[in-house]
A = this chain, B = another copy of it.
């Protein structure tokens, strides 16, 4: 069956998250509706690389959908038509015909998130950058984050009500990086998979350590506890952006790799 793959940016502010919920507007549903309008079909289901929570943004969400026969319009036409009907909080940046059995979730090998903060009040970027009001020691935070690298059970950073039984993830990046702009930093975190609430729990724990209320070495103990209550409170959703999902084969020609 012809399979189409989309690269999607969205502002998570007004959404209940990627996935349909009992209440609220889901990014997935908004794109499915746009597809229905443009292709004049009753219902086309799209599958994302993963769910993002309410308020979490994406610049590089990947999703696929399948249709029973190839579309009569080309991919660029379809992308433009979709962008024409989507709200200004969602845009499709690439749309290509993918490999036949491609699956946005199961075929993904790496996910990269950035968490954006500023130690100063945030104005122009306030929709996607969190204002952290205390001083932070980024050297301590990076020391703590280094304990997360490699393959571990991340139960300590998974929300309690999650039904996922496999809580082992392999983390390949976890670093705070300074950015241009007064007091601007971002946390880059990349792993093969993420558990529900995992990035925000890790960032919240790093804040505790950066403020001095925990030690960098405490990260080892928290990780080993496999108990969510040992970690810090979840950082606010609005600083979090899903930046990139990687697949074995590059999907989008001319796509700029984010470093």
Contacts and interface: CB of A to CB of B under 8 A. Distances in A.
B126 A88 contact: yes
Contact of A11 (B83, B92, B123): B123
A250 interface: no
A81 to B, nearest CB: 13
Nearest to A92: B121
A121 B91 contact: yes
A10 interface: yes
A40 interface: no
A182 interface: yes
A164 to B, nearest CB: 28
B9 A241 contact: no
Contacts of A126: 11, 88
Interface string A111-135: 0000000001111101110000000
A63 to B, nearest CB: 15
A152 interface: no
Contacts of A88: 121, 123, 126
Contacts of A83: 121
A256 interface: yes
30 contacts: A9-B121, A9-B123, A9-B124, A10-B123, A11-B123, A11-B124, A11-B126, A57-B124, A59-B123, A59-B124, A59-B181, A83-B121, A88-B121, A88-B126, A89-B123, A90-B123, A91-B120, A91-B121, A91-B122, A92-B121, A93-B120, A93-B121, A93-B182, A124-B128, A124-B241, A127-B127, A180-B256, A180-B258, A181-B256, A182-B256
Interface of A: 9-11, 57, 59, 83, 88-93, 120-124, 126-128, 180-182, 241, 255-256, 258-259
Contacts of A127: 124, 127
A120 B126 CA distance: 22
**8 A-B pairs with least C-beta separation:** A91-B121, A9-B123, A91-B123, A83-B121, A124-B128, A11-B123, A93-B120, A93-B182
Contacts of A92: 121
A181 B7 CA distance: 13
A253 to B, nearest CB: 12
A104 B128 CA distance: 31
Contacts of A182: 93, 255-256
A110 to B, nearest CB: 19
